[in-house]
Amino acid sequence: MTKSKLNLIIEGVMLLCMGALAGIGLLMKYVLIAGFRRGAIYGRNVELCFWGLDRHQWGTIHLVIASILISLLVVHIALHWAMILAIYRKLIPDPLTRRIIAIVLV
């Protein structure tokens, strides 16, 4: 598999992960509302579920997908590292300034 195909697959999976994170985040915020707000809205403590999963189970799925996204992001940066360095060198031509900025960022 070529580097460009691998990059395309990684970016596609990252896009799906971001969409899933946004969707689950909205689900947890507006549908599976927290316990203290449930009582205020429904007048009693009811169990809210979506597709048979409660808020905490969706939160676990959210965390797993976020971990996958972060892992893919690290791979994505590694695949683009040469380009990142080239752009960094072009933006900051002075080697001493580049080194100082790199130390500050680290």
Distances (CA, A) of 24 to 70, 76, 82, 85, 97: 17, 24, 35, 35, 43
Q: How far is residue 13's CA from residue 19's CA, in Å, rounded to a whole number?
A: 10
pLDDT digit string, tens, across residues 53-90: 888 899 999 999 999 999 999 999 999 999 999 999 99
Percent of the chain with pLDDT over 70: 99
Q: Which two tokens stand for residue 68?
A: 């996958």
- Would you say residue 49 has pLDDT above 80? no
Q: Count other Cβ atoms within 10 Å, centred on residue 24.
A: 19
Q: Please, what is the average pLDDT of the chain?
A: 90
pLDDT band at 91 (very low <50, low <70, confident <90, very high): very high
User: Residue 11: what pLDDT?
Assistant: 96
